[in-house]
Chains A and B, each alone.
Chain A
Amino acid sequence: MFQALINRKATRSPAGLDLGSEGARAAQVVRRGDTWSVTTLASWRVPRGSPGLDADSAARERLAHWLRGLQIGGRKTVAGLSPPDVEIHAMELPRPSGGSPEEQRRAAQFELARLAGFNDDGAESDFWWLPESRSMTTTALGVAAEKSCVAQSLDLCRRARLDCVQLDATPCALARFGYLIRGPAATHDDVWSVLDLGARMSRLILCVGEIPVLARAFDYGGRLWTRKLAESLSVSEETAERHKRDHGIARIARSAPEAPPATHLLGEMIYNVLRADIDAIIGEVERSYRYVLQCFRQRRPGPLILAGGGASMFNLDALLAERLGIEVIVPACENSEALAALHVDAVAGQTREPLTVFACAIGLAIAARHAQPANCGGGRS
């Protein structure tokens, strides 16, 4: 009964703040027992012609102004850093059977300093333990970010009058988002993944249970695809972006008896332009799945969750499902009943952007305080 009372109590989380190069997304959730309800979704894009948030201080100031006006309860936030701002490295650390947490922290810090390619200014780092596997020598994954990058994020939060309680890595946030929409039961005995198709880069995170065990980043981003389409179709980048979203990609079987509709023809043109990149991503996903499944032999291949702006590209999920042979999930407000522990009904009409764009922000919002490492010794290093 006491547990039921605790579960009934709603807890507001700090706002998740996903800072990308092309814009920022913010989300806030409320926890009721084992379920999470999204209460706020908002996004902001850098002005046209801006070189991006990293290089444009005026754009950062405008973002801070936008964040100041945002209705965030508690004014606390968990910011997220994405590759290449953060580096994720596999580490072979001795398991935490003997050493003290302080020794483990120092060992991870030393190993990350050795592996990370940052300059002499030093880096902020953290790590988490991976599930045990006899086929895998990697025991932990470490995250490191340049101090200047951390300071830049903190400065932005300060100017936005937000209290940054945690600076997380977006692969962890995406893993949390995927775990939340699938539910603990579904992730019990498979290897599943999240593919975040961002504007600058794409990220693939493979998880075992609730723990990310492999994080990869590719240079195939949505912006690159838009540029390629604009060059190939001789249209402006805005038109290419619209075509990409509206028509997506389509594969036309040559053996089809009737002529395909015109929209399919445009979709095939887009597919042909992007084919190399999509094939490369599929290849990376295949290789990653194969590697993780080799390490965790008792598990079966699980679904791929698409996230990011590129996830809304028409027909991409069907193509990936067909080529990979696994289920591909595209979370959307429209099919909210399919999301296990995440309720998005309250924000269904709040934004024009698809839910996949906010996957990282929602994952960040459920990070602080509530996220307890389950079977790992994730601590600071």
Chain B
Amino acid sequence: MISVNLLSPTVTFRRRQKARVRVWLIVVAVVAGLSAIPLGADLIKSAQAAALRRQVEPLNANVADARNRLDKVSAECRNLTTQLARADALRAKRDWAGLLQLIAGQIPPQVWLDSLETFTAEAPSRPTGSARNKQPKNQNVVIPGPAGMHIVGYATDNDWLYEFMSRLKLTGAFRTVELTMAGRVPVLQGAAVRFSLTCTW
């Protein structure tokens, strides 16, 4: 079948060139589009990360603030615990008036006291090196208190001294009642037995 074409070769050439350019543009657009997918995904992820970072910054500040407050509260807590321990320790203070009244009640008439003196127990030996680290920290506050008392006095004779010691023991207020020193000494125009007792509880 006969067919003619009145389009000039220039027009045909331009049309074909345009079609080729269009195809290339489509190809480039498709390739660019395909390449843009991971890039876009990265950009989205970056944007999300930035947004999360922006959200985290105030949270970090809040955390630091909370940590400071926690430190303060912890310090306050420790302080209060210490005070409570002290209060407990103070609550456990010995009833000295009662003790003196008890001792006074046991003194026979032939015995008189010269001095009463409490003494503190020897401090326990401090652990060394790794043993110190291994030991758990004792949170209780230990206030060193008197472990016993020295009683110094006079008795007319040894029997009354013995009587006095027996009475003290019988009270049950002392764990031990030991005679540390006893000897006759001149007193006024006569002589008396000077003694020293060590009582522990």
In the assembled complex, how far is the CB of residue A214 from the closest CB belonging to chain B, in whole angstroms?
Answer: 13
Interchain CB contact (< 8 A) of B5 among A167, A179, A212, A366: A167
Of A27-35, A158-166, A278-286, which stretch is located at the interface? A158-166
Which chain A residues in 364-380 approach chain B with CB under 8 Å?
A: 366-368, 371-374, 376, 378, 380
The interface residues of chain A lying within 8 Å CB-to-CB of B8 are 124, 150
For the complex, is B90 an interface residue (Cβ under 8 Å from A)?
no
Q: Is A154 an interface residue (CB 8 A)?
A: yes
* A371 and B15 alpha carbons, distance in the complex (Å): 20
CA distance A378 to B7 in the complex (A): 14
CA of A143 to CA of B2, assembled, Å: 12
Interface size counted on chain A using CB atoms at 8 A: 35
A150 touches B4 (CB 8 A): no
Contact of A378 with B9 in the complex, beta carbons under 8 Å: no
Bound form: Cα–Cα A38–B3 in Å: 19
**Chain A 101-138 against B: per-residue CB contact (8 Å), 1 yes, 0 no?**
00000000000000000000000111110000000000
Please report the C-alpha to C-alpha distance between residue A111 and residue B11 in the assembled complex, in whole angstroms. Answer: 23
The residue from A145, A176, A380 contacting B2, defined by CB atoms under 8 A apart = A176
Q: Contact: A143 with B6, CB < 8 Å?
A: yes
With a cutoff of 8 Å between Cβ atoms, the chain A residues found around residue B15 in the complex are 163-165
What residues of chain A lie closer than 8 Å to B170, measured between beta carbons? none
Question: When each residue 1-35 of chain B gets 1 if its CB lies under 8 Å from chain A and 0 otherwise, what string results?
Answer: 11111111101000100010000000000000000
Quick check: B11 and A143 within 8 Å, CB to CB? no
Chain B residues near A143 (CB-CB < 8 A): 4, 6
Are B2 and A124 interface neighbours, CB within 8 A? Answer: no
Given contacts A163-B15, A165-B15, whether A81 and B2 have CB atoms under 8 Å apart is: no
Cβ contacts under 8 Å, A176 to chain B: 1-3
Q: Are A81 and B6 in contact (CB under 8 A)?
A: yes
Instruction: Give min CB distance, B142 to chain A, whole Å.
Output: 99
Binary CB contact string for chain A from 229 to 257 against chain B (1 if under 8 A, 0 otherwise):
00000000000000000000000000000
B1 touches A169 (CB 8 A): no
Complex interface: chain A residues within 8 A of B1 (CB) = 175-176, 179, 210, 366-367, 371-374
* A86 in contact (CB, < 8 A): yes
Name the interface residues of A169-203: CB closer than 8 Å to any CB of B: 169, 172, 175-176, 179
Interface residue? A211 (CB, 8 A): yes
**Which residue of chain B has its CB nearest to the CB of A180?**
B1
Interchain CB contact under 8 A, A212 and B6: no
Q: For residue B6, which residues in chain A have a CB less than 8 angstroms away from its CB?
A: 81, 86, 124-126, 143, 145, 150, 167-169
B interface residue numbers (CB < 8 A to A): 1-9, 11, 15, 19
20 CB contacts below 8 A, A to B, read A128-B2, A143-B6, A150-B7, A150-B8, A163-B19, A164-B7, A164-B15, A166-B7, A167-B6, A168-B4, A172-B4, A175-B2, A176-B1, A179-B1, A368-B3, A371-B2, A373-B3, A378-B2, A378-B4, A380-B5
- Identify 16 new A-B residue pairs, CB closer than 8 A, beyond the known A168-B4, A172-B2, A373-B2: A124-B7, A126-B5, A126-B6, A150-B6, A150-B8, A154-B7, A163-B15, A167-B7, A168-B3, A175-B2, A179-B1, A211-B2, A212-B2, A367-B1, A368-B3, A378-B2
